[in-house]
Every structure is written in structure tokens, then in C-alpha cells.
């Protein structure tokens, strides 16, 4: 296993990480699980909680990307992103084919796969801090920057409203990020403990949650709910975040 040599309990060389992740695709259980995850992307993509119509809504598809990233790493998760865009968004939902969005979905898979892959974790396993960092990176680089730029590039927003669109996305994601981190911690914690008992799936260690970390997770949920309620029922709060809705 020279190609997957582990130092201090984890793969440190990015090229070795990519190679180890790519080798996951040579295993039949991996391909079968990816097919199930692709179906889950469609189901979870439909399970949105609209708070103000399309203006503010909670989506759940990022949970599948995170689980795939933790189990199989960047290469299969990027492939999941590409297939999600081509089969689910383009063919099944009829949103049209645009190569920029295919790249953006693959980039999202790269974020989750690179940061959560179990072969890159310390021997203690996946931590709450790593999960929070990953969701924050997804929010900043995928949701706010890349998607807003693609909307501008393809003419969905004008050049004059680009800065305003970024501001709107920043405000919305500030409201949703704490709640999404909480959901991701709970989802991954439950799934990574349950899935190894199914058989044929890699085991992903998770750090033992300390009282401080548990308090942090509960605080994130309270903060997320507080921001959400403030946004929904306090008009001046929207102006502070410069939503412009």
C-alpha cells in the first residue's frame, strides 16, 4: 500500500490523497453507494424549507456531499457533484446545461471531499471544528462567491447589481450558517456511527465530543434560530444585514 502510505495516522501529500480517493471508485460498494447518494441528492434537493419563498430557504443537499466526502474523499465527491448537476439539475429538473455550474458542483465536491476525507484526518477522527470549517468554506467559496459570479457571468444578474447580489447572499448565509453547521454536525455524527454496521463502507472515526464542543454545537443551534427569527420578524434586522429584498 505504498500509494496510500499514512504518516501520523493520515495522508499528508495531496497527490496521495487524490490517488487514494480515486482508488475508491474501483470498489463495487463505492459505485453502488454513489448511485444511492445521487438519488438522495435529488430527494434532499426537493426537501427545502421556504422561509420567504425563494428569497430565504433551508436546503439539505449539502448533507449528502459532506457524507460522501467523509467516506470517499474528493474524487468520488466531485463525480457526485458533476452527476448531480447533469442528471438531477439538468435532466430531471430541467434547469438547462451550463458548463460553469457543472464546474461549480464539482468544486463543491472538492471542498467537502478534501476537508472531510477520513484518510486525511488525525487519529482522533473527525472533529466539530473540522465540520464547521468545511461548511464555512462551502458557504463562502461556493454559495457566496462562485455562484454569484456564475449568475453574473450568464446574465442572470446585471453588472450594476453584482455587488448588491453578493451583499444579499452574504446576509442570507450569515443567518443560515450557524443552523447549517448544527444540522451537519448532527447528521454526520449519526450517519458515521450507523453506516459501518451496514457493511462494505469505510469506517470514519469521530472525535469524542467534549462538554465544551457540545455547548458550542447547542449554541450554534440557538444562534441560528435566533438570527432566523430576528430576520423573519424584525424588519430593521434585515436592513442591518443589507438584504435589499
pLDDT digits (tens, 9 = 90+) for 100-144: 999 999 999 999 999 999 988 888 889 999 999 999 999 999 998
Provide the CA 42 distance to its chain's centre, in angstroms: 15
Q: Is the pLDDT reported for residue 1 higher than 50?
A: no
Cβ contacts of 25 within 8 Å, gap of 6 or more = 31, 75, 76, 79
Higher pLDDT, 166 or 135: 135
The residue assigned the cell 457540545 is 214
Q: How confident is the model at residue 245 (pLDDT cuts 50, 70, 90)?
A: very low
Q: Which of 4-8, 88-92, 109-113, 231-235 has the highest mean pLDDT?
A: 109-113
- Contact indicator for 4, 20 with CB cutoff of 8 Å: yes
Cβ contacts of 237 within 8 Å, gap of 6 or more = 230, 231
Q: How confident is the model at residue 229 (pLDDT cuts 50, 70, 90)?
A: confident
CATH topology of domain 12-241: Arp2/3 complex 21 kDa subunit ARPC3 (1.10.1760)
What are the tens digits of pLDDT across the range 173-219?
A: 888 899 899 999 999 989 988 887 777 788 888 888 888 888 888 88
To 5 degrees, how large is the angle CA 103–CA 46–CA 53?
95
Annotated domain spans of the chain: 12-241
Average pLDDT value over all residues in the chain = 84
Structure-block grid coordinates of residue 214: 457540545
- Contact indicator for 125, 193 with CB cutoff of 8 Å: no
In Å, how far are 62, 108, 173 from 54, measured between CA atoms?
A: 18, 21, 14
What is the torsion angle, in degrees rounded to the nearest 10, for the CA atoms of residue 38, residue 39, residue 40 and residue 44?
Answer: 110
Amino acid at each position: 500500500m505504498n500509494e496510500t502510505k499514512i504518516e501520523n495516522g493520515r495522508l499528508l501529500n495531496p497527490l496521495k490523497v487524490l490517488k487514494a480517493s480515486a482508488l475508491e471508485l474501483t470498489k463495487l460498494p463505492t459505485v453502488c453507494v454513489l448511485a444511492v447518494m445521487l438519488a438522495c441528492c435529488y430527494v434532499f434537493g426537493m426537501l427545502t424549507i421556504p422561509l420567504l419563498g425563494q428569497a430565504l430557504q433551508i436546503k439539505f443537499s449539502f448533507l449528502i456531499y459532506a457524507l460522501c466526502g467523509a467516506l470517499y474523499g474528493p474524487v468520488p465527491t466531485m463525480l457526485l457533484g458533476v452527476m448531480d448537476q447533469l442528471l438531477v439539475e439538468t435532466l430531471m429538473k430541467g434547469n438547462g446545461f451550463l458548463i460553469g455550474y457543472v464546474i461549480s458542483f464539482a468544486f463543491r465536491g472538492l471542498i467537502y471531499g478534501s476537508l472531510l476525507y477520513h484518510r486525511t484526518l488525525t487519529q482522533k477522527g473527525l472533529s466539530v471544528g473540522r465540520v464547521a470549517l468545511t461548511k464555512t468554506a462551502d458557504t463562502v467559496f461556493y454559495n457566496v462567491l462562485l455562484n454569484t459570479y456564475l449568475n453574473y457571468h450568464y446574465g442572470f444578474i446585471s453588472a450594476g447589481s453584482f455587488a448588491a447580489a453578493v451583499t444579499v447572499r452574504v446576509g442570507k448565509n450569515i443567518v443560515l450558517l450557524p443552523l447549517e453547521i448544527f444540522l451537519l454536525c448532527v447528521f454526520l455524527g449519526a450517519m458515521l456511527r450507523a453506516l459501518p454496521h451496514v457493511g462494505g463502507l469505510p469506517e470514519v472515526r469521530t472525535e469524542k465530543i467534549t462538554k465544551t464542543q457540545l455547548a458550542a454545537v447547542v449554541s450554534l443551534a440557538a444562534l441560528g434560530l435566533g438570527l432566523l427569527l430576528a430576520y423573519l420578524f424584525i424588519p430593521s434586522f434585515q436592513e442591518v444585514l443589507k438584504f435589499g429584498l
